[in-house]
Structure 1
Amino acid sequence: MKVLELARRRKTVRKFLPEKPPFEDILKAIDAAKEAPSGMNAQPWHFVIVDDPWIKERIREVCEIGERKFYEKVSGKLGEWLKEKGFSPEKPFLSEAPYLILVFGYTKAPYWLHSTWIAVGYLLLALEELGLGTVTYTPPNPRAVEKLLNAPKEYKLQVILPVGYPADPKPKYERKKLEEVVSFNGF
């Protein structure tokens, strides 16, 4: 499949079928992600795959503590949007998805942040090609999850990707038109 087709098809998924995808598919997607470019070819990413129900539940509990604190403070346009879309501090997808892929960046590498997120982009498209859905969930309290998983201090959690077969009926959010996001020879 072509990249543009994958990108247009890919949408955020927060609900999953209970059927567990083959572990080999998770590894295939990560194999694609590790091919992303990185500053000085440092490849500063590390992927932690979690399928243990107990660990997934602990991750969910820790994240929901941070979410509750976040929701107590959020206001303005973001607060209105979250309310309108029906979001809350509860994140059931963290324990219900068959797999969680946690993506960490090695902070001692040059350009680690940019490089890690390019790998995440590759991973999203690879998962889509394999028929798997996900949401890029960035917990408000990543340090708590890092501690839970005994991550070395020089690795920072960037995103948690709950992964499985999609069961989310909502459509993809509309995208801006090309002419709205492109200009030539200046802004």
Structure 2
Amino acid sequence: MRVLELAKNRKTVRKFLPDKPPKEDILKAIEAAKEAPSGMNAQPWKFVIIDDHWLKAKIREVCEEVEKKFHEKVSGELGEWLKEKGFTPEKPFLSEAPYLILVFGHTKAPYWLQSTWTAIGYLLLALEELGLGTVTYTPPNPKPVEELLNVPKDYKLQTILPVGYPADPKPKYERKKLEDVVSFNGF
């Protein structure tokens, strides 16, 4: 099963080689993503590809501003996990990756959220198949990015995918066992 192999190999990537993948590969991955099922076949997603250096730097700047505010307030289990893993407000992958794919959902469509994230799942596997890495990064407050890009009010940023050839040596996080996540005929 090719999909299972792709899913097992896919990992979070935050460091990229400087080589820029062909734009056709990015479009091929989005071609797969747009085939995802959606409520009432509304296809409520919009993919915005950013490869302009200035714009990537500006997106990074506004995201780091909201990340700083988030990191000042976060506590509890999430705060501990972020510190343990070494996460900070700095997001260099937003300006260093050759491409950013911003995925938006049309909030007036039925089941827009579930449908958009299903398409994102397809996109992640398609990028893996093409040998490209990414991380699903969602800023704590997407409004500044939406304002920067003049996004229509009925669309909401779901994730920013920095995309390129992986240069991240970090291994994939361990997954739970199948029997830990599956049950039959009840929870």
TM-score (norm 1): 0.99
Q: Following the alignment from structure 1 to structure 2, what is the Cα–Cα distance between the partners of residues 184 and 119?
A: 27
Give 1:128's aligned residue. 128
Query: 1:68 offset after TM fit, Å?
Result: 0.2
In structure 2, the residue corresponding to 1:100 is in which secondary structure?
A: strand
**Structure 2 letter corresponding to 1:29:** A
In structure 2, the residue corresponding to 1:89 is in which secondary structure?
A: coil
Query: 1:2 offset after TM fit, Å?
Result: 0.4
Runs of 4+ in structure 1 deviating by more than 4 angstroms, as ranges, are none
Q: Which moved more, 1:76-85 or 1:26-35?
A: 76-85
Give 1:151's aligned residue. 151
Quote the RMSD (CA, aligned, Å): 0.6
Give 1:115's aligned residue. 115
Q: Following the alignment from structure 2 to structure 1, what is the Cα–Cα distance between the partners of residues 48 and 138?
A: 15
Give 1:9's aligned residue. 9
Q: Following the alignment from structure 2 to structure 1, what is the Cα–Cα distance between the partners of residues 154 and 77?
A: 34
Give 2:38's aligned residue. 38
Give 1:78's aligned residue. 78
In structure 1, the residue corresponding to 2:36 is in which secondary structure?
A: coil
Describe the superposition over 1:88-110 as per-residue Cα deviations: whole angstroms up to 9, x where unpaired: 00000000000000000001110
Describe the superposition over 1:32-83 as per-residue Cα deviations: whole angstroms up to 9, x where unpaired: 0000000000000000000000000000000000000000001111111111
Q: Following the alignment from structure 2 to structure 1, what is the Cα–Cα distance between the partners of residues 161 and 117?
A: 13
In structure 1, the residue corresponding to 2:157 is in which secondary structure?
A: strand
Q: Following the alignment from structure 2 to structure 1, what is the Cα–Cα distance between the partners of residues 7 and 134?
A: 13
Query: 1:25 offset after TM fit, Å?
Result: 0.1
In structure 1, the residue corresponding to 2:120 is in which secondary structure?
A: helix
Give 2:172's aligned residue. 172
The share of aligned pairs that are identical, in percent, is: 84
User: Any stretches of 5+ residues in structure 1 without a counterpart?
Assistant: none
**Structure 2 letter corresponding to 1:28:** K
**Structure 2 letter corresponding to 1:59:** I
Q: Following the alignment from structure 2 to structure 1, what is the Cα–Cα distance between the partners of residues 157 and 80?
A: 27
Q: Following the alignment from structure 1 to structure 2, what is the Cα–Cα distance between the partners of residues 101 and 21?
A: 13
TM-score (norm 2): 0.99
In structure 1, the residue corresponding to 2:47 is in which secondary structure?
A: strand
In structure 1, the residue corresponding to 2:28 is in which secondary structure?
A: helix
Query: 1:141 offset after TM fit, Å?
Result: 1.4
Give 2:22's aligned residue. 22
Counting matched residue pairs gives 187
Query: 1:153 offset after TM fit, Å?
Result: 0.5
Give 2:92's aligned residue. 92
User: Any stretches of 5+ residues in structure 2 without a counterpart?
Assistant: none
Give 1:183's aligned residue. 183
Give 1:65's aligned residue. 65
Q: Following the alignment from structure 1 to structure 2, what is the Cα–Cα distance between the partners of residues 84 and 95?
A: 24
